[in-house]
Structure 1
Amino acid sequence: MADPKFIVLGSNSFSGATFCDYLAEQGYDVTATSRSAEPHDAQLPYKWQQRPGKVRFEKIDINYDLDALAALLKRERFTHVVNFAAQSMVGQSWDHPDDWMMTNVVSTVRLHVLLRGLDFLDRYVHVTTPEVYGSTEGWVREKTPFNPSTPYAVSRAAGDMSLKTFVDTYQLPAVSTRAANVYGPGQQLYRIIPRTVYAAMTGQKLRLDGGGKSVRVFIDMRDASDATLKIALKGKVGETYHISGYELVSIRELVELILKKLGKSFDECVDVGPDRPGKDAAYMLDSFKLRTELGWQDKVSLDEGISNVISWAERFRNDIPKLDANYIHKA
């Protein structure tokens, strides 16, 4: 078997950029692709320090540039394709559901058609979401039935179900991942942890939907990257793996922890608003399979991970005002 050769789709996403950096840290040369030009260096961990491997970026949009991607795949003969490319904002999917369906279903299925014809492909890693389960009770495993409650979740469920048919019918060597809420240095400012840090550092009010009652598990993206690499190299074809810790926290508790680290109070910094439509109350992913089959374990505690985000925000304090504080939709 040839040495692993990686291409990462959706590399401008927080998860994709961090995974590219993790691969480079492990000594892999990586081809990174995304639909937009690379963002500010503050959001690209692979540009913060020298790594044994290199990251090479190419601008490719799976919605419009599939022929260019096909040519690149066949020219470079990548053994591992890791796909983070998706429309991923939940609340905004109600405004433009057709765009979410286009990227997460139509273009994703077209990608699978392309990949099924590559005889040099060893693994395709399909990065998906626990949103497909809807709100859950208790710790759930990978066979939990789908019960999506937003256009985003519906689009991901459709893409996931389609992929299974490609595995079953064409033996596409695919594995899937579903991770708890990822976070870490470089994450977009409209996500809850960097948004809270930024608001507290700049004296802005943070709007908290529903008062922060929802319960989540937050997983540091470096831990998630370690899991994704293990799944890419050793995951069983056709299987899905949950990437999650077991440290439950409500959004309010999370915000309070961040503000305490920054010497701020909840009442001083937070405005409470109504819940957004279709918001799920809890995700509790049981990562037993990943831990027992592939020997993964999470290493970064939530307390340590938040401190790392604060350190990142302080390092790039002068650059953060140049970054998008709000999600900007791209069709």
Structure 2
Amino acid sequence: MTIIVTGAAGFIGGNFVHHWFERSEEPVVVLDKLTYAGNPATIQSHLDAGRCTLVQGDIGDRALVAGLLAEHRPRAVLHFAAESHVDRSIHGPGEFIQTNMVGTFELLEAVRAYWSALEAEPKAAFRFLHVSTDEVYGSLSETDPAFSETTPYAPNSPYSASKAGSDHLVRAYHHTYGLPTLTTNCSNNYGPYHFPEKLIPLMILNALEGKPLPVYGDGQNIRDWLYVRDHCEAIRQVLAKGRLGETYNVGGKNEIRNLDVVQVICAKLDALRPKADGTSYASQITFVADRPGHDRRYAIDPTKIEAEIGWQPAESFETGIDKTVTWYLENTAWIDSVRTGAYREWVSKNYSARD
């Protein structure tokens, strides 16, 4: 038995590979384009052990995907691969449409052809699990109820619109062709191996390097934070127990304002790596111009996955952020390997104009 995981040299996919091999010996074939956020070092230990195979390629290359399916005969395809940074989608939406929508379409077509040709038993057992985001639902006010699986889609960024499009394609392939699909929509993930342009790792690394900690707008935007390994366990359980064609919202039950997240990180670093001059890292917080169309609040209602699957997050934000900050303090080699010249150019492009 084998599974194929797209985008597993990235943040959530890479953590899923680690999590998978803590609970299973079933081999994994990774298909990853290895763009700026893909790093083989994230899963290198499993590559070296021979449990995992990495194929560099595009989910939009239907012939490549078809070849992998024919060669490895997987019982499931787990689709993590996506362009995922809202700021990058604002600067260049085309890549998001191409990868998240067109790429997902090409992947679905290849998988549909493979699945259609299977014998009855493996055909009935096969699953296609699509990993998506709560951002497809749009923005909430502070008094709105949390997103449920029946919340109407209202994406507000090129990123979230492209993910909404991919969700609709997956749904259509189940209802039109009978493809055995599952979809998860998660809240903001954090944890090890997170590419350092995202909020939490950016704040940790900027703080340690004495740089400003750029907070968009008034810092009052609210996100529901989910420790990445909790998300990985949810995906593993949905793959095993989810009802075909269904969507499951995965949330951490940790609604926190962005400014409060940054202040918690500063307090953790004050305790673990105090500054030589005795001041708090919070003195580096700098408010910058807000992101265009910045959604005010996201919140997930995980009632369905709790009731049907039996999943609940194991980590609170307090325990999860402890693990995350410690990981970044102890893994400087991985951090250095991903902070290339292209990364530095991006950070300059995105933040210099906001000063």
Note whether the superposition's TM-score is higher than 0.5: yes
Change (3 A) 1:328 1:202: closer
Task: Specify the code of the residue in structure 1 equivalent to 2:27.
Answer: D
Q: TM-score, structure 1 length as denominator?
A: 0.91
Q: Does the 8 Å CA contact 2:3/2:28 hold for their aligned counterparts? A: yes
If you compute each CA radius of gyration, which structure gives the higher value, 1 or 2?
A: 2
Write the deviation string for residues 58-106 of structure 1: whole angstroms up to 9, x where unpaired: 112113x321121111121101100011111112212222221111111
Aligned with 1:58: secondary structure?
Answer: strand
- Which residue pairs with 2:212 in the alignment? 205
Task: Give the Cα–Cα distance (whole angstroms) in 2 for the partners of residues 327 and 29 of structure 1.
Answer: 37
Runs of at least 5 residues in structure 1 that lack an aligned partner in the other structure: none
- Which residue pairs with 1:58 in the alignment? 55
Aligned with 1:159: secondary structure?
Answer: helix
Displacement of 1:172 in angstroms is 0.6
- Which residue pairs with 1:317 in the alignment? 332
- Which residue pairs with 1:260 in the alignment? 267
Q: How does 1:211-226 map to 2 (within 5 A)?
A: 211-226=218-233
Aligned with 1:241: secondary structure?
Answer: strand
Q: Does the 8 Å CA contact 1:167/1:174 hold for their aligned counterparts? A: yes
Task: Give the Cα–Cα distance (whole angstroms) in 2 for the partners of residues 55 and 255 of structure 1.
Answer: 36
Change (3 A) 1:35 1:319: closer
1:30 aligns with one of 28, 31, 39: 28
Percent of aligned pairs with the same amino acid: 30
Aligned with 1:262: secondary structure?
Answer: helix
Task: Give the Cα–Cα distance (whole angstroms) in 1 for the partners of residues 208 and 297 of structure 2.
Answer: 29
Change (3 A) 1:130 1:111: same
Task: Specify the code of the residue in structure 2 equivalent to 1:302.
Answer: F
- Structure with the largest fraction of helix: 2
Q: TM-score, structure 2 length as denominator?
A: 0.85
Displacement of 1:153 in angstroms is 1.4
Change (3 A) 1:14 1:327: farther
Aligned with 1:218: secondary structure?
Answer: strand
What count of residue pairs does the alignment treat as equivalent? 322
- Which residue pairs with 1:277 in the alignment? 292
Runs of at least 5 residues in structure 2 that lack an aligned partner in the other structure: 271-278, 348-355
Q: Does the 8 Å CA contact 2:47/2:54 hold for their aligned counterparts? A: no
Change (3 A) 1:48 1:113: closer
- Which residue pairs with 1:116 in the alignment? 112
Change (3 A) 1:50 1:62: closer
Displacement of 1:49 in angstroms is 11
Change (3 A) 1:61 1:148: same
Q: Does the 8 Å CA contact 1:193/1:306 hold for their aligned counterparts? A: no
Displacement of 1:319 in angstroms is 4.9
Write the deviation string for residues 155-176 of structure 1: whole angstroms up to 9, x where unpaired: 1112211222211111010010
- Which residue pairs with 1:307 in the alignment? 322
Displacement of 1:139 in angstroms is 1.3
Q: Does the 8 Å CA contact 2:100/2:162 hold for their aligned counterparts? A: yes
Change (3 A) 1:212 1:159: same
Q: Does the 8 Å CA contact 1:179/1:224 hold for their aligned counterparts? A: yes
Q: Does the 8 Å CA contact 1:14/1:188 hold for their aligned counterparts? A: yes
Are residues 1:107 and 2:103 paired?
yes
Q: Does the 8 Å CA contact 2:78/2:128 hold for their aligned counterparts? A: yes
Change (3 A) 1:48 1:273: farther
Give the RMSD, CA atoms, in angstroms.
Answer: 2.2
- Which residue pairs with 1:13 in the alignment? 10
Write the deviation string for residues 174-221 of structure 1: whole angstroms up to 9, x where unpaired: 010111100111111111111111112221111111132111111111
Q: Does the 8 Å CA contact 2:3/2:77 hold for their aligned counterparts? A: yes
Task: Give the Cα–Cα distance (whole angstroms) in 2 for the partners of residues 103 and 292 of structure 1.
Answer: 33
Change (3 A) 1:234 1:195: same
Task: Specify the code of the residue in structure 2 equivalent to 1:39.
Answer: N
